């Protein structure tokens, strides 16, 4: 004898399957969101000027410097993104990482990652207490946009027990981007105004500062 299942049983099966699918999709979405949050939360703010910086120790040093993103404007007053250059500036993020001899690009999941945010046209000064070692200012990009930004490949060292001035990174973005990179950058010496500004909150850390400017990393020829 063939037993016939009630019609509502099939409907119930479809409903349970649908609910399971929704729960599974929700779980996957929440997991992805958690992973993304974890990646963001693992990136430490590079500027510590708003914090109380503890005294230097046998493993720690301090670096001082600044970044400035300067978009140029054309005859119409517009910058490279088509915005009014006299209006509110865009925000940029600089990516900084601690590097090791076996990990020269800081790509290891254990490499300490930092971020530094700056508004266009406004110099962003920083003071950072770091472990002794080598660091790489890897790249910068405009927040909320794709394509505007690129590599910087600037290296600097932090030495235990020392306070170092590492310079100002000036990034200039031409009003009209043609061939090649859509930006150019230089490292400048703005030591005096930088130390004067930071000394208002960290007077003890702006004395006996050693000049050790960051350098463009040399890569072997292909």
Going by C-alpha positions, the residue among 215, 167, 212, 169 that lies closest to residue 67 is: 169
pLDDT at 43: 87
What is the torsional sign of CA 170, 166, 153, 46?
negative
Element holding 194 (H helix, E strand) = helix 191-198
Q: Average pLDDT for residues 50-75, to the nearest whole number?
A: 88
Tokens 């503890």, located at residue: 54
Work out whether strand 60-71 and strand 124-131 pair parallel, antiparallel, or are unpaired. antiparallel
The domain segmentation of the chain, as residue ranges, is: 7-41, 45-216
Going by C-alpha positions, the residue among 107, 104, 165 that lies closest to residue 134 is: 104
pTM above 0.85, yes or no: no
- As a whole-number percent, the residues of the chain with pLDDT over 70 amount to 69
pLDDT surpasses 60 at 11: no
As given in the structure block, the two tokens for residue 131 are 């472990």
pLDDT at 55: 78
Q: Which residue has the higher pLDDT, 29 or 75?
A: 75
Question: How distant, in Å, are the alpha carbons of 96, 117, 163 from that of 191?
Answer: 21, 20, 13
pLDDT surpasses 90 at 33: no
Cross-strand bridge partners of residue 46 = none
Give the C-alpha separation, 147 to 92, whole Å: 12
Cβ contact 198:98 at 8 Å: no
């Amino acid at each position: 004898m063939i037993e016939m299942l009630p019609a509502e049983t099939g409907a119930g099966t479809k409903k349970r399957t649908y609910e399971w699918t929704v729960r599974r999709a929700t779980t996957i979405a929440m997991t992805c969101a958690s992973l993304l949050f974890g990646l963001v939360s693992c990136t430490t703010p590079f500027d510590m000027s708003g914090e109380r910086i503890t005294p230097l120790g046998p493993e720690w040093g301090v670096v001082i410097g600044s970044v400035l993103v300067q978009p140029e404007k054309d005859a119409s007053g517009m910058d490279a993104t088509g915005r009014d250059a006299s209006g509110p500036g865009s925000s940029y993020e600089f990516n900084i990482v601690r590097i090791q001899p076996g990990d020269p690009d800081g790509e290891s999941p254990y490499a300490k990652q930092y971020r530094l945010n700056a508004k266009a046209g406004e110099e962003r000064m920083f003071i950072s207490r770091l472990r002794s070692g080598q660091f790489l200012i890897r790249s910068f990009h405009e927040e909320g946009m794709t394509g505007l930004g690129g590599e910087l490949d600037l290296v600097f060292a932090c030495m235990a027990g020392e306070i170092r001035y590492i310079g100002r990174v000036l990034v200039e973005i031409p009003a009209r981007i043609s061939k090649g990179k859509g930006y150019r950058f230089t490292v400048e010496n703005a030591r005096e105004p930088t130390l004067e500004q930071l000394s208002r909150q960290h007077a003890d850390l702006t004395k006996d500062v050693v000049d050790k400017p960051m350098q463009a990393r040399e890569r072997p020829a292909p």
